[in-house]
Amino acid sequence: MTSRDSKGILAGALKDLPDPLALPECRGAFDVAISPPGSKSLANRVLLLAALAEGTSTLRNVPADADDVRVMIAALRRLGARIEAGVGAEAHVLRISGSAGTVRGGCELNLENAGTATRFLAAGAMLADGPVTVDGSERMRERPIGEQVSALRAMGVSAEFLLREGYPPVRIIPPARLEDLAGEVSFGRTASSQFISAVMLAAPFLPRGLRIRFTEPATSAEYIRMTARLLVLLGACVEGDLSALDKAGAALFIRAREQGTRGLRGFEWQIEPDASGASCFWSAAAMVPGASCLVPGLDGGSLQGDAGFVDILARMGATVERRSEGLRVLGTRTLAGIDVNMEGMPDAAMALAAIACFASGPSMIRGLRTLRVKETDRLAALARELSRTGAEVRIAGDGDGEGLHITPVNVERGVRSTRGRELVFDTYEDHRMAMALALVSLRMPGVQIRNPMCVAKTYPSFWRDWGRLVEAAGGAA
């Protein structure tokens, strides 16, 4: 394949990519500015709040072409929200006429493999005027939701699992009167922080608000803090110490800002760029001496915990610049190994695992138990695929400390062993796997990625941006 052919493939339409996708070698340093799409995590939170608010909301930089967000928008329309999308340059602008805290029931929602949409709408369904069935793909039917449904039942919501206890599909039957719901609910260590964020998003629309007690340290507390801060910025009242969520005994009380009212008023909001997607490009810069990558629109004030990933790269030896226009990472000749707990940013941990295979010493990445119940069992998938680089990657620890211990590959020996042969990685139809595994191609030749289209879940333009990076490095992009 010629350089021109390779460049055209990465720059082309996602649906036209070959499978597997051969990634060109990176032949030097690069200096790029990459603008990931809007954050899926933020977008699906804001979409639900806008659909429930009173009045019209305008949302900008919505990644409406990402599968998870497309699924959320379609589901909200089924629940009665009026959502108008712009065209052309305004394609990522949505105008949403809210329902003032009530959604249309009597429907079934197929949320495919969108975890945020599934959890958020299972909680939002308690505000419906009739039963709502929440279902998804075969993989979603393997992803647990029992802890969240138990919390809803404790509040007074009826719920029926239709196939297997604890897993979708589940029928949510709202109470006859929202006033009959309990005003308090408790959570321990959950399989996902999304269970907690889901009830938080519904809380301002409950007549008495909702007090959430944490009997154990909150799972992935950074995501719960993100939800709380977003609620405050959009007009809700959140009482409680967010810094205490890492300890047992914390509590939050969430209600409408004005006593005696329900919900939020319509608002205008710009979705931040996806920090999880940015982590791959920051990682790429960190592992190439002399390289740099700026991500505009992300800074120290970001709502996303993954924006703090640059601090992890700095601990490994990369240089981080906090500029007015965004966060920039510059590469180092030698990345040090690291011992770090990544519970607060498990998505970014996947890029970290990939670059740790090429560090100067071993790494221990802890706090990854929630990766077991993502789009695939990411912990097992990372160990299996990254081991093929020649690094020793094994699952270590248990419970909250479960993670990956990585002894790096001898790069010179590894390159010799892979030269002239293909290194074809499985992605398990998982977008984060595809993006993380692409990083291997910066140090090893012959890398191919199966099912490259899976990045459409959150970052449809990922391969185009990757091609820009490699082209800037003088590679065959």
Query: Distances in Å between the alpha carbon of 125 and those of 98, 133, 178, 284?
Result: 15, 9, 12, 41
Tell me if residue 68 is catalytic: no
Q: Find the helix packing angle between 40-52 and 67-78, rounded to 10°.
A: 10
Query: CA 103 to CA 147: how far, in whole Å?
Result: 23
Give 423's strand partners: 447
Query: CA 111 to CA 410: how far, in whole Å?
Result: 43
317: left (phi over 0), alpha (psi -120 to 50) or beta: left
- Measured in degrees and rounded to the nearest 5, phi and psi for residue 15 equal -70, -15
Closest CA to 96 of 49, 39, 38, 42: 49
- According to DSSP H, which parts of 34-156 are helical? 40-52, 67-78, 115-124, 146-155
SS3 (DSSP) at 354:
helix
Q: Residue 312 has which token pair?
A: 């992890």
Check 347, 426, 430, 465 and give the catalytic one: 347
Considering only the C-alpha atoms of the chain, give the largest distance between any 2 of them, rounded to a whole number of Å. Answer: 70
Query: CA 392 to CA 363: how far, in whole Å?
Result: 11
Closest CA to 38 of 470, 461, 467, 370: 461
SS3 (DSSP) at 134:
strand
State the SS3 of 233-261.
HCCEEEECCHHHHHCCCCEEEEEECCCCC
- Residues with catalytic roles: 347
